[in-house]
Structures are given as structure tokens and as C-alpha cells.
Amino acid sequence: MRWTVPNILTSLRLLAAPGVAVMFLYFNRPYADWFALMLFISAAVTDWFDGYLARLWRQESKLGAMLDPIADKAMVVIALMVIVGYSSMSPWLVLPATMILFREVFVSGLREYLGDTAGTLKVTKLAKWKTTMQMVAIATLFAQGVFEHYLVMSSFGMDTALVDRVLTGQDEDLLGLRWKYHGMVWAGQGGVLLLWIAAALTLLTGWDYFRKATPYLRG
């Protein structure tokens, strides 16, 4: 095994995956949302850098090829678990998250069964777009949590009627409730939309892998 810079970055991304969940164990919100968001974005950026540096420096290795998809899946699965857990099991999040998790388990099972012939399931460009969309959707949903809790903190002690008057422009917005509210709405709705797009791409790539594996499953 060669511990090159790309491999170290991939390993750090793998270690960062459980760190996203740990943030919510040791910090209160919205600080947990902030730390999880920054950790997730930092890890997602290394996903591009480790592959780029490996190709640039000709340091591609079997260790990196093995760790890279594991780190990606760990980041996505753990982050989705946290987001769904704090969403009060909203079906708009549970359904696409379930599709994504099902596909990841299904394709991993296919690769394990195929063994030496698993090379037929090489990562495609569409699969890379799928991973990128998943990362963007999850980061947006973490941002929604940040806006939501700053909105709650800013409106603490206000009655519902006063908050409504501020949000509708009838009263002066001294605490920035409006931009926090709109940030929460746009990040929430945008994150859900991106997650559904990611789920569609996830199922599409899963079907593509199954189609390629079909000749090895006959008999």
C-alpha cells in the first residue's frame, strides 16, 4: 500500500463521514449544523482533489481505487441518516433517501458477487454526476438547518402574530427574520428537489450496473 497525498485525502474523507453524525452528539444546534456543513463540504472538496492529484502526479493506486467509493458512500449514507433523523421522518426526504440507500447496497452486493469480474461495473460519468448531485443536495439541506435554527433563535419570545407581521412587512424587521425565513425555505425546497434528482440519477445508474452484470448472473 502506498500512502500518497491522494490516498491520505481519501482516508481523511472516510474518517470525516462519521464525524458528521458526531457533530450532533457533542454540539447544540445550530452549531452542530454549521460544523456538519463545513465538515461535509470540506470532505466533498477532497473528493475532487484526490482524484485530480492522483492523475496529475500519476499516483493512482489500488488502495485509492478501493477507498474512494467507500468514502463517498459513507459520507452520503451517514449524512442522509442524520438529515432524515432530524426531519421528523418527512416522506419528501425519506423516500429519495431510501432509494439512494437501496441502490448503494444493491450495487455493492453486485460487485461483491461478481468478484474478479466486478471490473465490468466501472464508475461511469453519470455515476460521478450522481455523486456530485448527492453531495450538493445534502450540503443544501444542512444549510436549511442553519437558517431554520437562526430563525427560531431570532424569533424567540415573539408570538406568532408578531412574527407573521414581520415576515409580511407590516412591522420593521430589526432582527433579519425575513432573510432567514426565505433562506430556510429556499434551502429546504431546493435541497429536497436536488435530492429527488440525485435519487433519480442513483436509480438510473443502478439499473445500468444491473444491466451490465446480467450476463454474469445467468445460469
Domain ranges of the chain: 5-216
pLDDT digits (tens, 9 = 90+) for 91-129: 899 999 999 999 988 888 888 777 766 566 677 788 888
Confidence class for position 194, pLDDT limits 50, 70, 90: very high
pLDDT of residue 112: 79
Give the position of cell 419570545. 157
Q: Which class does domain 5-216 fall in?
A: mainly alpha
3-state secondary structure of 176: coil
Mean of all residue pLDDT scores within the chain: 84
C-alpha span between 36 and 97 (Å, rounded) = 18
pLDDT digits (tens, 9 = 90+) for 2-43: 677 878 888 888 888 888 888 888 888 778 888 888 888 888
Q: How far is CA 206 from CA 11, 74, 193, 212, in A?
A: 25, 17, 20, 10
pTM of the model: 0.85
